[in-house]
Amino acid sequence: MSDAQAPIKRRTAVKEGDERHDAIYRAVSDAIVEQRLKPGARLREDALSEVFGISRTGIRKILQRLALEQLVTLTPRRGASVTRPTADEAKDVFDARQLIECGLMPDVARRMGEKEAAELRELARQEREALRSGKQSVAIRLSADFHVRLAQLSGNATLAEFVERLCSRSSLILAVYGHRGHLGCESHDHDDLIGYLEAGNGERAKAFMSRHLKAIEASLSIVDEKDEAPDLREVFGL
């Protein structure tokens, strides 16, 4: 056993570097989820590597990961850009959320304790607070966080990860198809939901979540807006 002495204050330590990448990944991911990087925005490798002070190789790795999560789209020889979900994808994502998140509610209700409920209430409170003080970006992320945390409470890490991905993509969908000023989730919906879960009423929570998600989806104006190549002839009625 080799003696690992504490005072390792290496500047470019390995562990630090590893976490650095993760931090950058999170920074980009958050920026996308919070819609500070809007769908369609190009993400050039050089620019990112300069901004974050890591090599292009590292940036590339991060972009790969984001692409796998479908937050960015990699077009061969054209690089990365923030994904602009299609109407079909939006439908798929919300259908998937219906199936998974609703299906998880009974499990969540079963495992919901005081501590968990308190944590969720805190998240809901922060979300309301952010919304009230005009920090829409933060509110969007907190709303996603709420749904993800809920899924995690089901105890199924795999499904929770799926929900995480679906929520991230939902942010993109809201950015493209949502109305300005109308954030996906109604502010007190989440609190109501916690109530049902705390009461152990899984079926009730399930039904509520279903309506909740339907409401979000209904608030979108999903109209396959401008394709890459709009038919000008048609546009101008010629």
Record the tokens describing residue 78, joined without a space: 């054209």
Record the tokens describing residue 128, joined without a space: 């309301």
d(CA 86, CA 148): 23
- In sequence order, which residues have a C-beta less than 8 Å from that of residue 75 and are 6 or more positions away? 81
Does 202 bind DNA (CB under 7 A)? Our answer is no
d(CA 101, CA 155): 13
Select from DNA, a second copy, none the partner in contact with residue 238, using the beta carbon and a kind-dependent cut-off of 5 to 8 Å: none
Select from a second copy, DNA, none the partner in contact with residue 92, using the beta carbon and a kind-dependent cut-off of 5 to 8 Å: a second copy
Select from a second copy, DNA, none the partner in contact with residue 54, using the beta carbon and a kind-dependent cut-off of 5 to 8 Å: DNA
Select from DNA, a second copy, none the partner in contact with residue 21, using the beta carbon and a kind-dependent cut-off of 5 to 8 Å: DNA
Select from a second copy, DNA, none the partner in contact with residue 100, using the beta carbon and a kind-dependent cut-off of 5 to 8 Å: a second copy
Smallest distance, Å, CB 163 to a second copy?
11
Select from a second copy, DNA, none the partner in contact with residue 44, using the beta carbon and a kind-dependent cut-off of 5 to 8 Å: DNA
Q: Site map for a second copy, 72-111, x if CB under 8 A?
A: -xxxxx--------x-xx-xxx-xx--xx--xx-------
Does 3 bind a second copy (CB under 8 A)? Our answer is yes
Number of residues that bind a second copy (CB under 8 A): 41
| Among positions 166, 167, 205, 222, the unique one binding a second copy when judged by CB under 8 A | 166
Answer positive or negative: Cα dihedral of 30, 33, 38, 39.
Answer: positive
Q: Site map for DNA, 17-56, x if CB under 7 A?
A: xx-xx----------------------xxx--x----xxx
Q: Give the distance from CA 68 to its chain's centroid.
A: 14
Nearer to a second copy, 10 or 180 (CB): 10
Q: Site map for DNA, 58-87, x if CB under 7 A?
A: x-xx------------xxxxxxx-------
Q: Which residues bind a second copy (CB under 8 A)?
A: 1-3, 12-18, 57, 61, 64-65, 67-70, 73-77, 86, 88-89, 91-93, 95-96, 99-100, 103-104, 156-159, 162, 166
